Amino acid sequence: MQLKPALAVNTNLLLNDRMHGLNPSLKSTKKAFGESLLALGKEDENVVVLCADLNSSTKTDDFAKNFPDRFFQVGIAEQNMAGIAAGLAACGKKVFITSFAAFSPMRNLDQIRVSICFSDLPVIMVGAYAGLSPSADGATAQELEDIAIMRTLPNTVVLSPVDYEQTKKATEASVTLSKPVYMRLCREDTPEITTASTPFDVKKAQTLIEGDDLTIVCTGPICHEAIIATKKLTENGIKPEVINVHTIKPFDKTLLLQSATKTRLVITVEEHQQSGGLGGAVAEILSEEMPTKVLRIGTRDTFGESGTYAQLKNKYGVDSEAIYSLAVNNINKK
Amino acid sequence: MPQYSPANNKFQYCTDKEICTIEKKAVELRESVVEMLVEAGSGHIAGALGTADIFAVLYHKILNIDPKDPHHENRDRFILSNGHICPVWYAVLAQVGFFHKNKLKTLRKLDSGLQGHPRKNSVPGIENSSGSLGQGLSQAIGLALGAKLSELSYRVYCMLGDGEMQEGQVWEALMYAGNKRLNNLTCIIDRNNIQISGYTENVMPLESLREKLEAFNWHVLEVDGHNVEELVNSFNMAKAVFERPTAIVAHTIPGKGADFMEYKFEWHGKVPSAKEAKKALNALRSLEGRIKCYDDE
């Protein structure tokens, strides 16, 4: 019996053994955020949390229960929330503002730009329910433009953790940065890719799987679709390298350039519009520093709609099948 | 050295002589504003002239601040929401010594800390960024909450233009502050009745403003925004109100001091020509004899 070629999983990262299985263990990034927030609240009395009526959705309830004096319910008023956060940050507080990504940073973008980012204030803006994940709610709740918009704001760090454990580490790191930080989270429970032992450094992207034939650069929980596609590609003799970009800004150029030099073909994968987000960032860097063919997986200049999460990912071309086909069709056109 | 906590809460009334001094400071501010805008070649003059008395009262009498220690954690905070009137803010900061007056002529020039609209910390004393209207009161609320959390006694003052009250965010902020009973927050509304395209009541009426503010659980005072004594008294009154934030509706004359500009919305965002500036400065300088002064002893 012929053995299937094994995935070259990066052992240095101490990843979850089951990450490339078809039924990986699932855990919520929102829950990770809520747990870390509670821990940070215990450690540091300067940590404060603001919420615009979505405390149960964004998992800030435990913090609110434990630290009622440091939890501010502003009601359905995201613009006021961003401004109050700026004021609190200006007097030394470490401030989290939380909502659906569609409402914060999108509805209150001008307040974030002027009151927070222009003043370079350390406010951590958490946009939950990003991407297609609030699937049944339809297009207005699905946020597909946030990466593109937030990464163009000066002073601002953009985080997009891959899973439960990484969200915990990103949340802990966010309060140490002393910068405006945007972090996007998913609504659904998502595959566990990293473990508690996996290292995390805001400045360093992570090679999850090593390969020579093409580079798949991905961000957020959708990385799992890239891992599934990679498994199938490997079985068919194509060996992709998979890079997880948990920090879109500042971008780890070094790792990207190293990988692209080797593979000469890059596919980007994100639950976001094709333009301006991760794919945009990768294309900008490569076109300036080492022109390489870049193919972008993402929604194609379209709004979403209601459906199940899996149905939407399939219809809008951001699942493992789409990644697999794109790779197979282009592997010989480098 | 100014006294910090708990001096912030002591009442600060003026002697007649002090009132006279503050009035003179306000005239100087107006002169600076005219000179700055002529030098810059652009900017917003009407609101800056109209609020000079309020700025003079705040910085010479009310605010517990020390220009030598601009980041003291218990300093009073002044937040400007209608950022376009910042020339008068820069002028008063120079007047009380946050930076040298020479800097005023760099307004709106490349590499200057005196930006066309305020940027937090661009020069000492500038506490917030503004220029997109309607954002200052929310920032001020954050600072007021911060004082309560850190058990500091500083007070927060926020100036709003009346026109910017057409922004929805202002009402989100008014609702929040009123409901949270932020008694360490005082909002000054520059009720000059003009905005860039016309009179507020023609563009989008704000009246009845007092009733609206009261309905949002604010304590409302209405004052003559050019009467130093009334302004001082109202800021003291605000300190005495225990259960609610206070909104001081300061009725002002846009362009105050340069008679040909007064009451005219056309001067909202305009700069006087050299000839007009001379006329304005002459008018301001001729006020000298009209300010009621009391001789020393």
Span B122-136, mean pLDDT? 98
CATH number for A146: 3.40.50.970
> Both A38 and A80 in a single domain?
yes
Q: Which residue of B has its CA nearest to A109?
A: B132
> Both A53 and A112 in a single domain?
yes
Asked if B74 and B4 touch (Cβ cutoff 8 Å), the reply is yes
Q: Residue B115 has which token pair?
A: 């930006």
Question: Is residue A178 classed exposed, middle or buried when 0-12, 13-18 and 19+ CB atoms within 10 A define those classes?
Answer: exposed
Instruction: Residue A183: give the domain boundaries.
Output: 26-191
> Both A55 and A160 in a single domain?
yes
All residues of chain B having their beta carbon less than 8 Å from the beta carbon of residue A89 are 142
Residue A91 has pLDDT above 70, yes or no: yes
Residue A4 covered by a domain:
no
* Residue-level pLDDT at B290: 60
Asked if B194 and B200 touch (Cβ cutoff 8 Å), the reply is yes
**DSSP-assigned letters across all residues of B103-160:** GGGGTT-TT-SS-SS--TTSSTT------STT-HHHHHHHHHHHHHHTT----EEEEE
pLDDT tens, residue by residue, A102-114: 999 999 999 999 9
Which of B75, B138, B154 best probes binding to A when mutated, by most A CB atoms within 10 angstroms?
A: B138
Please confirm whether the linkage preceding A122 is cis (ω < 30° from 0). Answer: no
Distances (CA, A) of B290 to B26, B223, B282: 13, 21, 14
Residue A1 covered by a domain:
no
**DSSP-assigned letters across all residues of A181-200:** EEEE--SSEEE--S-TTS--
Per the prediction, chain B carries an average pLDDT of 93
> Both A56 and A176 in a single domain?
yes
Task: Find, among A235, A32, A90, A304, the residue nearest to B138 by Cα.
Answer: A90
Question: Is residue B15 classed exposed, middle or buried when 0-12, 13-18 and 19+ CB atoms within 10 A define those classes?
Answer: exposed
For tokens 């500038």, what's the residue? B126
CA of B262 vs chain A CAs: smallest distance (Å): 31
Residue A236 covered by a domain:
yes
> Both A104 and A210 in a single domain?
no
CATH number for A309: 3.40.50.920
Which of A91, A108, A153 best probes binding to B when mutated, by most B CB atoms within 10 angstroms?
A: A91
Number of domains in chain A: 2
CA of B270 vs chain A CAs: smallest distance (Å): 24
Please calculate the CA angle A92-A103-A310 and round it to the nearest 5 degrees: 120
> Both A168 and A234 in a single domain?
no
Report strand pairing: A293-299 vs B246-251.
unpaired
Would you give the end-to-end CA distance of chain B in angstroms?
26
Instruction: Classify residue B265 by its DSSP letter.
Output: G
Residue A120 has pLDDT above 60, yes or no: yes
> Both A105 and A122 in a single domain?
yes
CB within 8 Å: A91 and B127: no
Residue A65 covered by a domain:
yes
Residue A61 has pLDDT above 90, yes or no: yes
Domains of chain B: 13-290 (3.40.50.970)
Question: Of how many residues is chain B composed?
Answer: 297
Residue A242 has pLDDT above 90, yes or no: yes
* Residue-level pLDDT at A6: 82
Q: Which of A175, A191, A207 is the last residue before a domain boundary?
A: A191
* Cβ–Cβ contact A91 with B under 8 A: yes
Q: Which of A151, A173, A191 is the last residue before a domain boundary?
A: A191
Q: Which of A144, A174, A191 is the last residue before a domain boundary?
A: A191
> Both A115 and A170 in a single domain?
yes
For tokens 């004359």, what's the residue? B253
CB within 8 Å: B135 and A83: yes
* Residue-level pLDDT at A145: 98
Q: What gap in Å lies between CA B222 and CA A84, rounded to an integer? A: 26
The rounded percent of chain A whose pLDDT value lies above 90 is 94
SS3 A158: strand
Residue A6 covered by a domain:
no
* Cβ–Cβ contact B147 with A under 8 A: yes
> Both A77 and A203 in a single domain?
no
Residue A277 covered by a domain:
yes
Span A63-88, mean pLDDT? 98
* Cβ–Cβ contact A93 with B under 8 A: yes
- pLDDT band for position A3 (cuts 50, 70, 90): low
pLDDT tens, residue by residue, A146-187: 999 999 999 999 999 999 999 999 999 999 999 999 999 999
The contacts of residue B284 (CB under 8 Å, 6+ apart) are B27, B30, B31, B34, B257, B258
CB within 8 Å: A114 and B130: yes
* Cβ–Cβ contact B119 with A under 8 A: yes
All residues of chain A having their beta carbon less than 8 Å from the beta carbon of residue B176 are 74-75, 77, 80, 84
Please calculate the CA angle A45-A46-A48 and round it to the nearest 5 degrees: 100
CB within 8 Å: A90 and B175: no
CA of A74 vs chain B CAs: smallest distance (Å): 7
> Both A295 and A240 in a single domain?
yes
* Residue-level pLDDT at B6: 45
